[in-house]
Structure formats: structure tokens, C-alpha cells
Amino acid sequence: MFQEMSRVETKNFKKISKINKGKIIAIIIGNAKGILKSEGIDAKIVPLEYFKVEYIKNYVLFFISGMTVDFKGVKNLVDKINENRDESQKIIIGGPIANDLYLLEKIEGDISIVGEGEITIRELIKKDFNAE
């Protein structure tokens, strides 16, 4: 299902100071890594199997990408994150699974990105990942 997870550490605290607060951002999609890096956020890829539920408090953002056939796996992952996160942590879902207009009702994420996410992720960075 998921092939990789990026573990992102930021060196540019000014750009996402409200989001980062000195914590690590978890990314489970390779494409977002390049976008974040171009915005001054240092990122490196870490295999998904190293992602442990007990470390959820160490992360601020979760970018999750999935195909439509990955629905059950994505839902299970989001459910685990939701059981262990606080309100300041955000779950952003992308990939083909996000084409479902009712995805955020079915999977309790915070933001879904439909289509290519390059522009949307940059806009979210500018808004400290506040989608409103």
C-alpha cells in the first residue's frame, strides 16, 4: 500500500513557526518532500514501517497519499493518528483517494488535496496549514 514515508525536519522556523514549534513533520508521500524542500523545509525519506503510533505526538503534520483501493488502509492509519493526536496536529490526505468529495466525512482528516498538490501545499505553508 504505502511505499514510503518522509520524515521532515525544518531548518526554517520563520516560514512555518506556528505549525512547527520545534517538532518534526511527518510526510507519507514522496512528492510533498520535494515541495517542502523547495520552501526551505529540509526533508528525508524514512520507510513507513518505522512510523510508530507512540511517536504521533512528535509530529505536527501528516501527509497521507493513497489510491482509491487503499481506502481501508488509509482509514486505519488516520484512525490510529486521530486516537493519539491533539487538535494542533493536522492530517492532509492526497492522491487518487482524495477525488472522493466525501472523503473527509469518511476518513476524519483535516484537509484533502485533489489533483497535483504543488500549488496547494505551497499555499498551505503560507497559511500555516489553516485551510480556511
* Residue 118 neighbours by CB under 8 Å, 6+ apart: 31, 35
Report pTM: 0.74
Judge whether 24 and 7 are in contact, CB under 8 Å: yes
* Per-residue model confidence as pLDDT tens for the chain (132 residues): 333 333 333 333 334 444 444 455 666 666 777 887 788 776 656 555 677 778 788 778 888 888 888 898 889 889 989 999 998 888 989 889 999 999 999 999 999 999 888 888 888 888 888 877
- Compute the distance between CA of residue 21 and CA of residue 33 in angstroms, rounded to an integer: 19
Provide the pLDDT for residue 28: 61
The C-alpha cell 505553508 sits at 125
**How far does Cα 93 stand from its chain's mean position?**
7
SS3 128: coil
Q: For residues 10, 14, 127 and 76, what is the CA-based torsion angle, rounded to 10 degrees?
A: 20
